Amino acid sequence: MKLFIGLLVALLLTGPLAGLVSVAALMNPAAHSCNAGSLVVGAIPDSLTATTASGTSITLGRHQLAHAATIIAVGSRTAGVGREGVTIALMAALTESTLRMLANTGAHPESANYPNDGDASDHDSLGLFQMRPAAGWGTVAELMDPDYQARAFFGGPAGPNAGSPRGLLDIAGWQILDPGAVAQAVEVSAFPDRYRNYEPVAEAVLGALTRAASATVGTGDAGVAVPETSRIMFPLPAGTYTSTDSFGWRTDPYTGEQRFHAGSDLATPAGTPILAIADGIVTFAGPRGTYGGLIILEHTVAGARVASYYAHMYDDGIHVAAGDSVAAGQQIGDIGSAGKSTGPHLHLEIHPGGADAPAVNALDWLAANGAATSDGTQVAAATCRSVKAG
């Protein structure tokens, strides 16, 4: 089994992702808070102390956190990166430079002429991600620019290197790989196991710099008021779906490890309409890591804020944009199988309290709040059965 998994990872890192379809977003509770919410950077603290996976405490200063903010900002405007991709980038920069912009006067004396946080001497490596001009990452002037280094790390169509060297978005299937393995695939380090150690620190940095902003609905500091919903609807047309995986702990089909599944999976043919569960406002619509195409709606239900997540759409299956107002039962997208998924289905999450609050069992929540399907039947708890109302 270990040999098979190793061969699978090697295939994903070196070739196209042929024949691999989606499964629902799998995450533990700690990782979930990192996946939810905005990538808008808030106030940068003077310092932050976090603990690595090995138990070592690390304190980052304001200048290091400002570099982290640059990485987050670049990731936020790079399609397909999402919070998971930004976390991996932070892991890499923490490992390579402790989020410092490093010159290398031994290999490149001119690098001292650019703003920097110190000198290093690892081959001809430069900057936050210790990228090498000799490896084709860019010129000295380019690599002494934190924004350029972040764009190079993320790569993809908007990256500066056209896939050579490969950035994160140039690695087929990166969303389903171990984050440390993805960082190594970009960095090609002689010490491939280092990156995983900094994952908890990267998550702490991302949470500290974005947590406050993620609760805002719409634009502006005051946010946008979300009117009370008129009704609660089931997100798929009656008779079109089967419940295939439920909320809670389960065995990850990719790793065999126990992981927390924060949503309810409803299998249904590709192209089936996805319906808004309630009146609300779109706060996110686009690709996001393991979710594939994701829509997040914010609602007001019984006077309280509730967020709903709809995952695994293809890009052309998203029919709304951030800022749109939607009505309960309105079609917002089409079923797909993008992201971390094993076939066409809807991964539905419900977050009472808003996008940053913990998820609850979506099917139980719908049943408890009187959700009806498109033919007027009332949803039963957890089983996805329908019974005639009244």
pLDDT cut 90: percent of the chain above it? 48
**Pair (92, 144) in one structural domain:** yes
Neighbouring CB atoms inside 10 A of 14's CB total 10
Confidence at residue 360, expressed as pLDDT on a 0 to 100 scale = 87
Q: Is the pLDDT of residue 230 over 50?
A: yes
Q: Is the pLDDT of residue 16 over 70?
A: no
303 vs 41: which has the higher pLDDT: 303
**Pair (85, 143) in one structural domain:** yes
Write the pLDDT tens digit of every residue in 266-312: 999 999 999 999 988 999 999 998 889 999 999 999 888 999 999 99
Q: How confident is the model at residue 359 (pLDDT cuts 50, 70, 90)?
A: confident
**Pair (248, 360) in one structural domain:** yes
Q: Is the pLDDT of residue 77 over 70?
A: yes
Q: Is the pLDDT of residue 41 over 70?
A: yes
**Pair (314, 171) in one structural domain:** no
- Asked whether residue 100 is assigned to any structural domain, the reply reads yes
Token digits of residue 300: 């007001």
Q: Which residue has the tokens 């001497």?
A: 121
β-strands 345-352, 304-313: how paired? antiparallel
- Asked whether residue 233 is assigned to any structural domain, the reply reads no
| Cα angle 281, 285, 288; round to 5 | 135
**Pair (177, 269) in one structural domain:** no
**Pair (192, 326) in one structural domain:** no
- Asked whether residue 7 is assigned to any structural domain, the reply reads no
Give per-residue burial for 105-134: e unless 16+ CB within 10 Å, then b: eebbeebeebebbeebeeebbbbbbbbbbe
Confidence at residue 123, expressed as pLDDT on a 0 to 100 scale = 86
Q: For residue 340, give the CATH number of its domain.
A: 2.70.70.10
Q: Is the pLDDT of residue 221 over 70?
A: no
**Pair (180, 254) in one structural domain:** no
**Pair (207, 257) in one structural domain:** no
384 vs 87: which has the higher pLDDT: 87
- Domain assignment of residue 254, given as a range: 242-388
The continuous run of DSSP H or E covering 76 comes out as helix 62-76
Confidence at residue 145, expressed as pLDDT on a 0 to 100 scale = 92
**Pair (156, 256) in one structural domain:** no
Confidence at residue 253, expressed as pLDDT on a 0 to 100 scale = 64
